[in-house]
Amino acid sequence: MRSLVPWPGVAAALILVGCGAASDRALPVELGASRCGNVAERPWCDARLDPAERTRLLLAAMTLSQKIDLMAGDHFLGVATSDPATGTVNGIPELGIPPLYMSDGPAGTREGISTAFPAPIALGASFNPELAYDMGKVIGREVRLKGNDLVHGPTVDIMRTGLAGRTFETYGEDPYLATRLGVRWIDGAQSEHVIGNVKHYLLNNQEGQVGAPPLLSLIGGRHLISAMVDERTLREIYLPPFEAAVKEAGVGSVMCAYNLINLQPACSHRHLLQGVLRDEWGFDGFVVSDYLLAVKDTVMSINNGNEIEMPVGFFYQPAEIQLAVATGLVSEATIDVRVGNILRTLFRFGFFDRADFPSDDGLIDYPAGDLAARRVAEEGMVLLKNNGVLPLNSATRSIAIIGKPATTYHNVGGSAAVTPWRYTSAVDAITARAGSNVTVTYDDGSQPARAAARAAAADVALVFVGDNAKEGTDKTCLALDCPPFWMGPLLSSPQKNLIEAVVSANPHTVVLLELGGPILTPWRDRLAGLLTTWYGGQATGSAVALVLFGDTDPGGRLPVTFPDAESQTPTAGNFLQYPGQLVAQYSEGVFIGYRWYDHQGIAPAYPFGFGLSYTTFAASDLTLNLVDGRVRATWQITNTGTRAGSTVGQVYLGKPMPEPGVEQPPSALQGFKKIDVPAGAAQTVSVDLDDAAFAYWSESQNGWRVADGCYAIRVGFSSRDLPLTAAVVRSDSGWRIDNACASSSLASRAVASDAGFFTEPPVPPISGKQG
């Protein structure tokens, strides 16, 4: 999607405040000459041979201890110092095996000065896979230009609870959305010749309540918690982004998680690592453990599928592996499989057949990165409320900007932290964009009365507030002001008080939320406008200015549900579900995110998929076609307003109950299209639904099945705004379009789940266009 910058002065003003205007110049990848060695002495160095043959030749030349050397990282402190990289596996020069350098991460390179993208949840809000490609590509390029071979990203864990400390690192609560974005992020990163490392496999859905009483801090924590989950939930909710990363993007590596799943550590989980990942999906890359004690033993981890322990070998120390082999607990053939997976992937990515990637920041096109970061920030911004105060226009003569986030770069803690190349604050960008005829004042908001006085003196007040989520610890509540446990009970609500003081002084108050995930918004009714910027990265200020003044239509749609009350959330009120004690029961099953709210009939504050534009859109003329075994939904989106704008057409599927007792979410996202539409114009949009979209995981048959029955296909602009409905019926004789069945199926869902719902009479298949 492009910015809608209608006149050159805007662009000029933003260049002045440093939003970056350089074109996204593609740097040629200079791969250089092979560093493997002489083919006559080292036949595996012959690049004409295929990776499997080269691997066979190299393994045959290696001693057991050389093989074992490749199975663990070698630099403990790299994760803290990035020296020589976040993670390093030393090479074996006598065999022509170079060192393998790994870098974080999903929001930018965590080494030196980098392009600091918005938190990945903003990419989730963009609903734009092509932007994911661009983000992955810029990060992949910087990872490479800092001398690395592998990038620890993307994070495709699904948000189960908004309390999870790393919610900001995810693409939100929906597996389909995370899948589409994750695949293109990996495509982008791997197009730069670095190996993608998709993470965290699997169910790293909480960090733990650090400092919580009694015992919770450790045993609800990510290193020890065991997610207790059924197979259907794994397959339908948590596995799809990883499956697509393997099958569609050909990701080179997978990071196994700290936590346990059904009492088995993720890094030695035979079912997930061998059964699902390799046997079913055909993954032929390598598994890298998460850092520091994700690997919990030697023998099972090696036998069940983890190739490399990071950052160093605790359980993969040479002596331990040698002992395991000597005692027959691990066979040498298994070591060959593990090391073979590493080598074959390195051959596949051309790792042996090029020079070292130079580590030279001078080669990085930082202005291009800045522009890419700004585009993600713009397209991820979600306008939740607007009573007409936005976009700001020439009638606005004075603006009061309030709150520290308007001047301060928000760097997330942990492995997604990035040191930005430059930072454009909202105050600077808004001041530049407003121009000399508009008075802009700033107050840090530390004294609500003073801030209110400033607000009262201005036409419009912009209040910047936010939360502070981090890796390593969960949030204790979803309120805006939510102190960690060690601060004791909540005594004050400084940001809430600030909002209330300002809105009392000036009704034209817009609140800007710098967030890592969903929060509660009990003050929203009093506001004139509400805009979620997420943790917006280095170019957040420029993006905020563009959106506030309407140079860019707010491009984001919520990738997470904003609840109305904490008690509404899927895991609320049940300690066994979250945070758990050693085990966390995923008893909500597939009903997470909007699936939960829909199933329970709960009205959230703001639903998944929701976001306003500065114009209005209508959807019409939904038709279904059966095309090559797929169902194609086609409809019209009309811009019914007077400005150009962007929107996200969304397709949700309501499935019949396939087996007694197997309840289905009322609707689940199965397609979306983000489009720009000029004022008054209409665009035709279509989305194809294949068997995978219609399938459910049958526990009784241990496989994917498409049930007979009526499938409601609902189209619109959010999970709660689906004005168009059509339907297809599946039976022994194939598919038939039958819109009438949708109303009865939706009605039956609304009252209760009904086993009769899937007993549609058999019908002949119909092809061609149907109404």
What is the C-alpha separation between 241 and 182, in angstroms, rounded? 7
Shortest Å, Cβ 360 to ligand BGC: 23
Angle among Cα 555, 675, 598 to the nearest 5 degrees reads: 70
Instruction: Give one DSSP letter per residue of 160-183, joined into a string.
Output: S-TT-TTGGGS--S-HHHHHHHHH
- At 203, which helix (H) or strand (E)? none
Which CB, 73 or 391, lies closer to ligand BGC?
73
Name which of residues 99 to 128 contact ligand BGC (CB under 6 A).
104-105
Shortest Å, Cβ 306 to ligand BGC: 15
Member of 283, 291, 597, 711 binding ligand BGC (CB under 6 A):
291
- At 425, which helix (H) or strand (E)? none
223 binds ligand BGC, rule: CB under 6 A: no
Structure tokens that stand for 201 in this block: 């496999």
Which CB, 289 or 298, lies closer to ligand BGC?
289
Q: What letter would DSSP give residue 236?
A: I
Q: How many residues does the chain have?
A: 771
Q: What letter would DSSP give residue 468?
A: -
Which CB, 79 or 212, lies closer to ligand BGC?
79
Asked whether the beta carbons of 627 and 694 are under 8 A apart, the reply is no
Which CB, 104 or 738, lies closer to ligand BGC?
104
CA-nearest of 347, 464, 488 to 410 is 464
Shortest Å, Cβ 172 to ligand BGC: 18
Which CB, 201 or 591, lies closer to ligand BGC?
201
Shortest Å, Cβ 722 to ligand BGC: 36
Please name the residue that has the structure tokens 């297809």: 728
- Sorted by sequence, the CB contacts under 8 Å of residue 141 that are 6+ apart come out as 27, 192, 364
Which CB, 109 or 552, lies closer to ligand BGC?
109
What is the C-alpha separation between 266 and 541, in angstroms, rounded? 40
Which CB, 184 or 199, lies closer to ligand BGC?
199
Shortest Å, Cβ 86 to ligand BGC: 5
Which CB, 359 or 398, lies closer to ligand BGC?
359
580 binds ligand BGC, rule: CB under 6 A: no
Which CB, 76 or 485, lies closer to ligand BGC?
76
What is the C-alpha separation between 253 and 342, in angstroms, rounded? 9
- Sorted by sequence, the CB contacts under 8 Å of residue 496 that are 6+ apart come out as 479, 480, 481, 522, 523
- Sorted by sequence, the CB contacts under 8 Å of residue 398 that are 6+ apart come out as 438, 439, 440, 441, 457, 458, 459, 460
Name which of residues 20 to 79 contact ligand BGC (CB under 6 A).
79
Which CB, 133 or 201, lies closer to ligand BGC?
201
290 binds ligand BGC, rule: CB under 6 A: yes
Which CB, 102 or 138, lies closer to ligand BGC?
102
Site size with ligand BGC, rule: CB under 6 A: 9
Asked whether the beta carbons of 390 and 529 are under 8 A apart, the reply is yes
Shortest Å, Cβ 110 to ligand BGC: 7
Shortest Å, Cβ 76 to ligand BGC: 12
Structure tokens that stand for 444 in this block: 């840090």
Shortest Å, Cβ 593 to ligand BGC: 22
Q: Hey, which residues does 581 pair with through a beta bridge?
A: 583
- The residue type found at 103 is S
CA-nearest of 335, 280, 275 to 302 is 335
Q: Hey, which residues does 465 pair with through a beta bridge?
A: 513
Integer CA distances (angstroms), 121 to 158, 166, 177, 496, in order: 11, 10, 11, 23
Shortest Å, Cβ 341 to ligand BGC: 20
Shortest Å, Cβ 106 to ligand BGC: 8
CA-nearest of 219, 157, 247 to 584 is 219
Which CB, 199 or 595, lies closer to ligand BGC?
199
Shortest Å, Cβ 105 to ligand BGC: 6
Which CB, 199 or 470, lies closer to ligand BGC?
199
Number of H helices, E strands in the chain: 21, 29
Which CB, 118 or 666, lies closer to ligand BGC?
118
Asked whether the beta carbons of 653 and 710 are under 8 A apart, the reply is no
Shortest Å, Cβ 112 to ligand BGC: 15
Name which of residues 128 to 167 contact ligand BGC (CB under 6 A).
152
Shortest Å, Cβ 204 to ligand BGC: 7
Name which of residues 70 to 99 contact ligand BGC (CB under 6 A).
79, 86
Which CB, 79 or 272, lies closer to ligand BGC?
79
| φ/ψ (deg, to 5) at 307 | -80, -50
Shortest Å, Cβ 85 to ligand BGC: 10
Q: What letter would DSSP give residue 606?
A: B
Name which of residues 475 to 504 contact ligand BGC (CB under 6 A).
none
Structure tokens that stand for 641 in this block: 């307003």
Name which of residues 629 to 668 contact ligand BGC (CB under 6 A).
none
| φ/ψ (deg, to 5) at 696 | -125, 160
Which CB, 79 or 558, lies closer to ligand BGC?
79
Number of residue whose CB is nearest ligand BGC: 415
Sheet (strand 264-265) strand order? 264-265, 260-261, 226-228, 583-585
Member of 42, 199, 348, 749 binding ligand BGC (CB under 6 A):
199
**Within 13 Å, how many C-alpha atoms sit on residue 219's CB side?**
11
Shortest Å, Cβ 683 to ligand BGC: 39
Which CB, 166 or 557, lies closer to ligand BGC?
166
Q: What letter would DSSP give residue 76?
A: T
Name which of residues 422 to 451 contact ligand BGC (CB under 6 A).
none
Q: Write the binding mask 378 to 417 for ligand BGC: x where contact by CB under 6 A, - elsewhere.
A: -------------------------------------x--
Integer CA distances (angstroms), 570 to 264, 508, 590, 652, in order: 24, 35, 10, 20
Shortest Å, Cβ 486 to ligand BGC: 21
Asked whether the beta carbons of 124 and 381 are under 8 A apart, the reply is no
Shortest Å, Cβ 416 to ligand BGC: 8
What is the C-alpha separation between 384 and 58, in angstroms, rounded? 57
Q: Which residues bind ligand BGC (CB under 6 A)?
A: 79, 86, 104-105, 152, 199, 290-291, 415
